């Protein structure tokens, strides 16, 4: 039995599993992490056809995903948790080989920040996942979409949807034309904005460099960053691009202290390490008032775009 299928049997065997019964994280390879400390999931159970419950634990302190004053979980912690769910289920419930390469296509997230407070113990999150919109290529499963309902203590704190695809390592190598983490070097990292301008405590966590405008920045790509580059990559990871979105909202100006609470993002192509990425933000009318559209560009191409909903502070 392949290793991933052995893990599937262990992880999905008991639908009655509760988070109190889980005492360790899932194997880090199943969520595409090298560090156990960055592995947020602790188990999963099958609820029915293409329906699952996934259990996660959120730390009380984190370099990026807990607010600098350690009072609240950041929305992007929820996003990373939901991203890990897709990898876990693909490998365990659907038998996708561990060496396949995944591509994030879409990520939508709506959070209730008033319910994301850090408590006296690590938060035990429960995610109800429904998988749909299966994509097949050459008779094999090559991607899916999934919706997540995220709860703490039985109360909904967020909802999310992700669309992801994958391909074999051999096909990926052909698609990338020889670009690997060993053959592509990132550009020198330019000086960043002041950490306080983007609500970060450490200069190393600032991902935007100033351009002299309040609506345009250069993305800082530091491949030594232990969270964004938990392992070597041949492109800019989606979670780094989402952090750029978060920081762009914060950096709009000293009088704009809105906090991101929702994201609707689409990833159109790989953001290459050896090309400058420009982040641009502009307000636009939305269904719930003013929204901000953040776009990432390399040369004349849009690599991703994200519409952000915000709440005041």
What pLDDT is stored for residue 257 in this prediction?
A: 65
Residues with Cβ < 8 Å from 280, sequence gap 6 or more? Answer: 215, 216, 294, 295, 296, 297
As a whole number of angstroms, the distance between CA 262 and CA 129 comes to 19
pLDDT at 289 over 70: no
H helices of the chain, in order, are 3-12, 75-92, 169-176, 238-250
Q: Pairing mode, if any, of strands 41-48 and 51-58?
A: antiparallel
Q: Are 276 and 244 in contact (CB under 8 A)?
A: no
Q: What is the mean pLDDT of the chain?
A: 91
pLDDT grade for 24, boundaries at 50, 70 and 90: confident
What pLDDT is stored for residue 254 in this prediction?
A: 59
Average pLDDT over residues 65-78: 94
What pLDDT is stored for residue 258 in this prediction?
A: 72
Neighbours of 201 (CB within 10 A): 14
pLDDT grade for 285, boundaries at 50, 70 and 90: confident
- Report the percentage of the chain scoring pLDDT > 90: 83
User: Which segment of 3-7, 243-247, 267-271 scores lowest on mean pLDDT?
Assistant: 3-7
As a whole number of angstroms, the distance between CA 216 and CA 280 comes to 4
Q: Is 213 exposed, middle or buried (0-12, 13-18, 19+ CB in 10 A)?
A: exposed
pLDDT, one tens digit per residue, over 98-138 is 999 999 999 999 999 999 999 999 999 999 999 999 999 99
What pLDDT is stored for residue 11 in this prediction?
A: 63
Average pLDDT over residues 34-63: 95
Locate tokens 């689409």: which residue?
A: 266
Strand order across the 259-267 sheet = 41-48, 51-58, 123-137, 140-152, 155-167, 101-111, 259-267, 301-311, 289-298, 278-286, 216-219, 208-210
The full DSSP string for 178-214 is: T--TTT--PPPPPPPPPGGGGT-SSGGG--EEE-SSS
As a whole number of angstroms, the distance between CA 11 and CA 74 comes to 27
What residues pair up with 295 in beta bridges, in sequence order?
280, 305
* Domains along the sequence of the chain with CATH: 3-174 (3.10.129.10), 181-311 (3.10.129.10)
233-238 contact pairs (CB < 8 A, 24+):
233/181, 233/273, 234/176, 234/179, 234/180, 234/181, 234/183, 234/184, 234/273, 235/179, 235/270, 235/271, 235/272, 235/273, 236/270, 236/271, 236/272, 236/273, 236/277, 238/83, 238/104, 238/107, 238/267, 238/304
Shortest CA distance to 273 belongs to which of 248, 249, 298? 298
pLDDT grade for 148, boundaries at 50, 70 and 90: very high
pLDDT, one tens digit per residue, over 77-98 is 999 999 999 999 999 999 999 9
What pLDDT is stored for residue 284 in this prediction?
A: 79
pLDDT grade for 210, boundaries at 50, 70 and 90: very high
- Report the percentage of the chain scoring pLDDT > 70: 89
What pLDDT is stored for residue 311 in this prediction?
A: 76
What pLDDT is stored for residue 1 in this prediction?
A: 39
pLDDT, one tens digit per residue, over 219-268 is 999 999 999 999 999 999 999 999 999 999 999 865 556 789 999 999 99
């Amino acid at each position: 039995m392949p290793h991933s299928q052995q893990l599937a049997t262990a992880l999905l065997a008991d639908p009655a599993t509760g988070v109190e019964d889980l005492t360790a994280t899932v194997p880090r390879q199943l969520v595409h992490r090298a560090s156990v400390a960055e592995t947020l999931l602790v188990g999963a159970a099958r609820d029915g056809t293409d329906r699952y419950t996934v259990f996660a634990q959120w730390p009380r302190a984190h370099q990026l995903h807990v607010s600098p004053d350690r009072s609240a979980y950041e929305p992007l912690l929820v996003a990373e948790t939901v991203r890990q769910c897709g990898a876990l289920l693909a490998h365990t419930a659907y038998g996708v080989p561990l060496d396949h390469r995944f591509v994030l296509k879409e990520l939508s997230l709506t959070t209730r920040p008033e319910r994301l407070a850090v408590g006296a113990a690590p938060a035990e999150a429960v995610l109800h996942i429904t998988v749909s919109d299966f994509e097949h290529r050459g008779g094999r499963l090559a991607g899916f979409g999934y919706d997540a309902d995220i709860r703490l203590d039985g109360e909904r704190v967020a909802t999310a949807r992700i669309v992801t695809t994958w391909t074999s390592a051999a096909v990926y190598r052909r698609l990338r034309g020889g670009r690997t983490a060993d053959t592509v070097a990132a550009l020198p990292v330019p000086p960043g904005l002041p950490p306080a301008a983007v609500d970060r405590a450490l200069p190393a966590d600032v991902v935007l460099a100033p351009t002299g405008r309040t609506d345009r920045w250069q993305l800082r790509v530091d491949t030594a960053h232990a969270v964004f580059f938990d392992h070597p990559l041949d492109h800019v990871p989606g979670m780094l691009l989402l952090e750029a979105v978060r920081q762009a909202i914060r950096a709009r100006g000293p009088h704009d202290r809105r906090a991101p609470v929702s994201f609707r993002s689409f990833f159109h192509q790989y953001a290459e390490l050896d090309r400058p990425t420009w982040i641009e933000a502009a307000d636009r009318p939305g269904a719930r008032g003013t929204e901000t559209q953040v776009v990432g560009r390399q040369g004349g191409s849009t690599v991703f775009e994200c519409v952000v909903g915000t709440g005041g502070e």
